[in-house]
Amino acid sequence: MPKIPIIMDCDPGHDDAIALLWALSEPEKLDLKAVTIVAGNQTLANTTRNALRVLTFAGRTDIPVAMGADRPLMRPSIFEQGATEMVHGQSGLDGPAMPEPGFEPVPMRALDLLIKTIEESEEKITLVPTGPLTNVAALFLVRPDLKAKIERISLMGGGSYTGNWTPAAEYNIYVDPEAASIVFQSGVPIVMAGLDVTHQAYITREENEELRQKGGRCAVFTAELIDFFSRYHYEVEKLPGCTIHDACAVAYLCHPEIFTGVDCHVDIELEGSLTAGTTVCDPGNYEGKNHNATVLYGVDRERFAELFIEAMSRLDQ
Ligand code: BDR
Ligand code: CA
């Protein structure tokens, strides 16, 4: 199988960090060309610093990183110090000890790094957004011609039947619904790993111990990320394990056979006072609209956990 060239657009974040590491652990399947950063789980300064630290930890200071949007396209930022701290801590990536960044972001905006990477690639690029969709929407607004050079978008965001930031909306889509609307209307094929599937993609305490016992530095580091991140999932969300949402967007590309999905038309609610940021998923074409996304609804959880442990251990070899 030829490698899939990808750009990850992210806001690390524990699960973004794990998604990055997972992508690096699959060099035969994925070719990580660039990382673009958006504000989301923390301020842009912190999410950038976190991405640089994770890549430094992984010894991949060769991967270009660029800073992108520090706020949504049209709305004021909903980022409130304190609110997301509950989930990801003060730095956005609390928990394990980490090296200081060993390199700097490239001296260009995320938008320009996206354009450059897509233009320079001989093959179509797959985008993997795991934060608010502001940078990707900006790309489509500024360079709609480049949609033709995007193979597809494998994203974490949304949910058919549930929200996690409001009762109806998932965090990444809620932060910048207008950007999400532009992306979902772009015509580029989308695979949506929303809460329907990511809430099934959890790691139990026992599985996290199994990972830690592997003993390598990446295995222990990831187990410590999960130690911190899982507190929110157990204590606040009352989930049966640590939900590594963003990893699903990467895992889908490497191991699509463990996921099930349904083609849908997905629209983003922009106005509802209770429902802004909801992904309205229509599998039945009730309104005669074309399918624009494959919405993932299921994953073989035990296989996902096995593959995750294998991926993190592989980085230690
Ligand atoms: C999403 O929000 C963030 O907290 C996570 O990194 C993930 O991308 C889950 O709703
Ligand atoms: Ca994220």
Q: Is residue 196 a contact partner of residue 170, using CB atoms and an 8 Å limit?
A: no
Q: Is residue 172 a contact partner of residue 133, using CB atoms and an 8 Å limit?
A: yes
User: Hey, whose CA ends up nearest to atom 10 of ligand 1?
Assistant: 171
pTM of this prediction exceeds 0.85: yes
Q: Could you tell me which residues are beta bridge partners of residue 8? A: 35, 128
**Residue 83 pLDDT exceeds 90:** no
Over residues 97-115, the pLDDT tens digits come to 999 999 999 999 999 999 9
Q: Is residue 250 a contact partner of residue 230, using CB atoms and an 8 Å limit?
A: no
Q: Binning pLDDT at 50, 70 and 90, where does residue 317 land?
A: confident
- Of the listed ligands, the closest to the CA of 175 is 1
C-alpha 4/C-alpha 18 separation (Å) is 19
Q: Binning pLDDT at 50, 70 and 90, where does residue 82 land?
A: low
**Residue 1 pLDDT exceeds 80:** no
Q: What separation in Å is there between the alpha carbon of 84 and the centre of ligand 1? A: 10
Mean pLDDT across the chain:
95
User: Residue 35 burial by CB count (10 A; 0-12/13-18/19+): exposed, middle or buried?
Assistant: buried
Q: Which residue reads 């990831």 in tokens?
A: 222
Task: Give, for 86, the enclosing helix (H) or strand (E).
Answer: helix 85-88
Catalytic residues: 245
Q: How many CB atoms lie within 10 A of CB 245?
A: 28
Q: Is residue 68 a contact partner of residue 111, using CB atoms and an 8 Å limit?
A: yes
**38-42, 65-69, 86-90, 260-264: which range is least confident on average?**
86-90
Maximum distance among all alpha carbons in the chain? 54
Q: Is residue 53 a contact partner of residue 99, using CB atoms and an 8 Å limit?
A: yes
Over residues 194-226, the pLDDT tens digits come to 999 999 999 999 999 999 999 999 999 999 999
pLDDT at 237: 83
DSSP β-ladder status, 279-282 and 202-203 = unpaired
* Number of helical (H) and strand (E) elements in the chain, helices listed first: 12, 11
The full DSSP string for 239-302 is -SSEE-TTHHHHHHHH-GGGEEEEEEEEEE--S-TTTTT-EEEESS-TTSPPP-EEEEEEE-HH
Index of the ligand 1 atom closest to the CA of residue 15: 6
Q: Is residue 280 a contact partner of residue 264, using CB atoms and an 8 Å limit?
A: no
Over residues 106-160, the pLDDT tens digits come to 999 999 999 999 999 999 999 999 999 999 999 999 999 999 999 999 999 999 9
The full DSSP string for 119-183 is HH-SSPEEEEE-S-SHHHHHHHHH-GGGGGGEEEEEEE---SS--SSSSS--HHHHH-HHHHHHH
Q: What separation in Å is there between the alpha carbon of 17 and the centre of ligand 2? A: 8
Q: What separation in Å is there between the alpha carbon of 145 and the centre of ligand 2? A: 27
Index of the ligand 1 atom closest to the CA of residue 11: 6
Take residue 140 and report the two structure tokens written for it. Answer: 């489509």
Over residues 10-28, the pLDDT tens digits come to 999 999 999 999 999 999 9
Q: Could you tell me which residues are beta bridge partners of residue 145? A: none
Q: Which residue reads 């909306």 in tokens?
A: 169
Protein residues with CB under 6 Å of any ligand 1 atom: 13, 15-16, 41, 87, 130-131, 156, 164, 170-172, 245-246
Over residues 26-79, the pLDDT tens digits come to 999 999 999 999 999 999 999 999 999 999 999 999 999 999 999 999 998 887
- Of the listed ligands, the closest to the CA of 237 is 1
